[in-house]
């Protein structure tokens, strides 16, 4: 594929109309290449979450173009956007969003179930994904039996089980302590480096953004800066192996 994996051109997002109209995005231009790790930052209300929702096909722009692998996403139907999400995108959320009474294995299988994969395919893919995040042997544990760091690892395994081109992470360390936060960031770096997964991460934490190759800062619905990260952190300060012995 020539050109960027993702392009936004003149993307605007309006909510409401008349006196209550809110312009959340004001003509955003953004290119993201395959294999990049990009941190999207900005204060509350800056437009970063709105941009992330559009990039994740969870919302549509009011005006402008969104191209994914050259296809005009803004012109797709709701069903077509859903198929794009299932095939190419994985999501990691601050709150983990795991089913409480369901095992780690079953949680990871969910996007594969929605995609219509067979039981055997789902089981094998989930096992591989859990092993890749250091949770081999934890497949039958429910979220209540896992620590916060382990729950976020299950969430990341769920995001990568479908072998997506892009992982969109929305404040992935927001509910974790410092040590677990760095472990999760080290894992995201490894997935980006070793598997070529493009990572787009919304964060308000500079020490987490330090793991990204590139920093995009939003202010008042516009991109205020878009710069390479000259001091990128490439490894977590705590060994990933420690996660399998952590306690709740």
Domain range summary for the chain, segments of one domain joined by +: 6-245
Per 3-state DSSP, the chain is made up of helix, strand and coil in percentages (nearest 5) of 40, 25, 35
Report d(CA 160, CA 129) in Å as an integer.
7
Predicted model pTM: 0.90
The band of 115, judged by pLDDT with boundaries at 50, 70 and 90, is confident
The band of 19, judged by pLDDT with boundaries at 50, 70 and 90, is confident
**Higher per-residue pLDDT: 130 or 94:** 130
Strands 166-170 and 198-202: parallel
Task: Give the containing element (helix H, strand E) for 215.
Answer: strand 214-219
As a CATH number, domain 6-245 is 3.40.50.300
Mean pLDDT over all residues of the chain? 92
Q: Which strands sit side by side in the sheet containing 166-170, from one edge to the other?
A: 89-93, 166-170, 198-202, 37-41, 214-219, 222-228
The model's pLDDT over 37-65, given as tens digits with 9 standing for 90+, comes to: 999 999 999 999 999 999 999 999 999 99
Kindly tell me if the per-residue pLDDT of 199 is higher than 80: yes
Mean pLDDT value across residues 61-78: 96
């Amino acid at each position: 594929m020539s050109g960027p994996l993702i392009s936004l051109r003149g993307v605007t997002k309006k909510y409401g109309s008349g006196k209550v109209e809110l312009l959340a995005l004001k003509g955003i231009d953004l290119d993201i290449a395959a294999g990049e790790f990009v941190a999207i930052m900005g204060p509350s209300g800056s437009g970063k979450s709105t941009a992330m929702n559009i990039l994740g096909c969870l919302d549509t722009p009011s005006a402008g173009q969104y191209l994914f692998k050259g296809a005009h996403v803004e012109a797709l139907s709701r069903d077509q956007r859903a198929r794009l999400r299932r095939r190419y995108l994985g999501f990691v959320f601050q709150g983990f969003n795991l089913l409480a009474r369901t095992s780690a294995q079953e949680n990871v299988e969910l996007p594969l179930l929605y995609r219509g994969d067979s039981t055997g395919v789902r089981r094998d893919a989930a096992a591989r994904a859990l092993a890749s995040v250091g949770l081999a042997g934890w497949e039958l544990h429910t979220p209540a039996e896992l620590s916060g760091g382990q729950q976020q690892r299950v969430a990341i395994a769920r995001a990568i089980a479908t072998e997506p081109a892009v992982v969109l992470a929305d404040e992935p360390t927001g509910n974790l302590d410092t040590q677990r936060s760095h472990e999760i960031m080290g894992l995201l770096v490894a997935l980006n480096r070793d598997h070529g997964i493009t990572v787009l991460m919304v964060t308000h934490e500079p020490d987490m953004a330090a793991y990204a190759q590139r920093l995009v800062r939003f202010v008042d619905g516009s991109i205020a800066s878009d710069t390479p990260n000259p001091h990128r952190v490439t490894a977590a300060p705590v060994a990933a192996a420690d996660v399998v012995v952590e306690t709740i």
